[in-house]
Amino acid sequence: MKVAVVGATGIVGETVLRVLEERRLPVSSLAAFASRDRAAAVMFRGRSVDVHRATADSLRGFDVVFFAGGDQASVGLAAGIAGNGCIVIDNSATFRLDPNVALIVPEINAAALRPQQRIFPVANCTAIIVCVALAPVCSVAGLQRVHAATYQAVSGAGRPGLDELQAAEHAIQHDGAEPPPQAFAARIARNVVPQIGELDQRGYTLEETKIQAEVRKILALDALPFSVIAVRVPVRYAHCAAVFFETERAASVKDLSAALEEAPGLVYHGRGIVTPRDVEGTDDVHVARLRAEDESGHRFAMWICGDQVRKGAATNGVQILELLLERGMVAA
């Protein structure tokens, strides 16, 4: 299987390479691409790999191409590559809400995969993590409505986000001039920023509208009332969410706990807490602090945590490829 990774020098691209290696995908040849040529810029299976500029011509002849950069490369290149028969697994937002394209999280909706699909978008990182936790609830008791506050790590803004936090912390520690915010709406060091993306006329940010729409699509609940405030926090990796939900059918904490304990890709903590540092570098979504909000049997709350660069991006994309291999849609 010939594989290419576009955006290979970014955080997600480097993690795609790592996960392909860790999960031992049958990659016979690997090529790395970015916005410009760079010698020996990434590693795969213990060897340095040159990075080349991504163009329509340079991406011909691959069985699978991962897009791990921004929307620009996906908009300009993905459709043409897919039209030539290649499978595209795209981490940008370009195709996520296309009604003709399934938004696959393999633990949840593998049945939505269709043989004719050639472009497979990877959902918003927060939406993936939240859905892995909500799907077992939905299967047991249905969902009537959801309210959430997300606490999102700076790596969600890519390498510039990590660099900005590090530079700001260094400046504070050494009594230097803290650089003005670039990747975030306000200074991020020792702070929380309740805005991710531009605000619309309703007062929602771009990130919040993405989470709303994509949770609904993944769970196949188009009319689900879902309200969310997305907050950037000074954590390097792993997103968290406090989620308050109302079920359609009466259930107990015991019922929901049992469903969460059996859910694939999820670790349920019946006692204690879980934090971003606990889950950094792992692929599972973690749930803790499940509780009933009242005696109705319908209203509950829980805490969700997961590494958004891995399960929220790179690992979910590689899992999609594993599913395609299993279905015979890609030749090993």
Considering the candidates 52, 86, 138, 239, report the single residue annotated as catalytic.
239
Alpha helix segments (H runs only) across the chain: 11-22, 71-73, 79-83, 106-109, 125-141, 158-173, 206-219, 253-262, 276-279, 315-326
Contact 146, 247 (CB under 8 A): no
Residue 307 CA to residue 93 CA, distance in Å, equals 19
Pick the catalytic residue from 125, 131, 138, 240: 125
Rounded Cα distance between 306 and 280, Å, is 7
For the chain, helix, strand, coil in percent to 5 are 35, 25, 40
Q: Is 125 one of the catalytic residues?
A: yes
- Establish whether 174 is a catalytic residue: no
Q: At CB < 8 A and 24+ separation, what contacts does 25-29 make?
A: 25/1, 25/318, 25/321, 25/322, 25/325, 26/1, 26/325, 26/332, 27/1, 27/2, 27/3, 28/1, 28/2, 29/2, 29/3
Q: Which residues are catalytic?
A: 125, 239
